[in-house]
Structure 1
Amino acid sequence: MTTVLHNKACSTSRAALETASDVGVDVEIHDYLKQPLSAEQLRELIGKLEDPVTDLVRRDPYFKSLGLSDADVQSEDQVIALLVEHPRLMQRPVLVKGDRAIIGRPKDRVAPFLAD
């Protein structure tokens, strides 16, 4: 089973769900804004992540409004602390399958990950 850490307001996240449907893969949807991940869950996710840990953090206007910079999200501990406090800063979608996880950006990463 593949889990998609999903934000329904995000077009890329919705596209990942459409791709899963198109290729016939059942997914479990986890709305991480309604059910934020704990520090322990984030640490487990990071252990599976094939992308750099810093990529889990969105560098959007909200990030900037908090006065944050890249230096604030370089380590695993920094990323975990930030995402526990501000889950909306988590990059989306994140796909988790077994002992592997990826950030589903760009969109063309999703289908090959689901096919593996």
Structure 2
Amino acid sequence: MSAIIYHNPKCGTSRNVLAMLQEAGEDVTVIEYLKEPPTRERLVQLLAEMQITPRQLLRQKGTPYDELGLGEDKWSNDQLIDFMMEHPILINRPIVVTEKGAKLCRPSETVLELLDEGAIASFTKEDGEVVRPR
């Protein structure tokens, strides 16, 4: 099975998810989305595949979220997408796409829902926490 990960190598969660995909034997395409942001069309498609709203994909920590006033309810979905296009750091990560679907993989063990059963027996995260499929 192949997978796409929208990845930030500076993010521990993203690194853990990438390592789990690799351990599961996935053929992984890594897109460093801060260097290669998705197009607006692709972002809209990802939101639809994940069945979440633009607000649910917004990242607050380490972003201009507060400075832009994005906590206010006055912004439409289209406007929130505009902000993500202008400031890709606002796109939460990692986003993973496999033939089983697409998910924002926070927490990192969410990626297990996109893998074949038994693909990973257990995985030790960078912080030492052990993840086991249910």
TM range (shorter): 0.7 to 0.9
Task: Work out whether 1:49 is the aligned partner of 2:27.
Answer: no
The root-mean-square deviation of aligned C-alpha atoms, in Å, is 2.0
One of 50, 67, 70 as aligned partner of 1:68 = 70
How much does 1:110 deviate? 0.9
2:8–2:93 Cα contact (<8 Å) kept: yes
Unaligned runs of 5+ in 1: none
Structure 1 counterpart SS, 2:10:
coil
Matched, 1:104 2:105: yes
Relative to structure 1, the CA distance from residue 74 to residue 15 in structure 2 (aligned partners, 3 Å threshold; closer, same or farther) is: farther
The alignment status of 1:15 with 2:16, answered yes or no, reads yes
TM-score by length of 1: 0.86
In 2, distance between residues paired with 1:60 and 1:92? 12
Counterpart Cα distance in 2 of 1:111 and 1:99:
11
Q: Distance in 2 between matches of 1:110 and 1:96?
A: 9
1:7: Cα distance to partner?
A: 0.5
Count of matched residue positions in the alignment of Structure 1 and Structure 2 = 115
**Over 4 Å off, 4+ runs:** none
Distance 2:11 2:74 in 1: 24
Which of 1 and 2 has greater Rg? 2
Scaled by the length of structure 2, the TM-score of the pair is 0.75
Paired position in structure 2 for 1:25:
26
Provide the identity percentage. 32
User: Does the CA-based 8 Å contact 1:51-1:103 persist in structure 2?
Assistant: no
Kindly indicate whether the alpha-carbon contact (under 8 Å) linking 1:51 and 1:102 is maintained by their aligned counterparts in 2: no
TM-fit CA distance, 1:51: 3.5
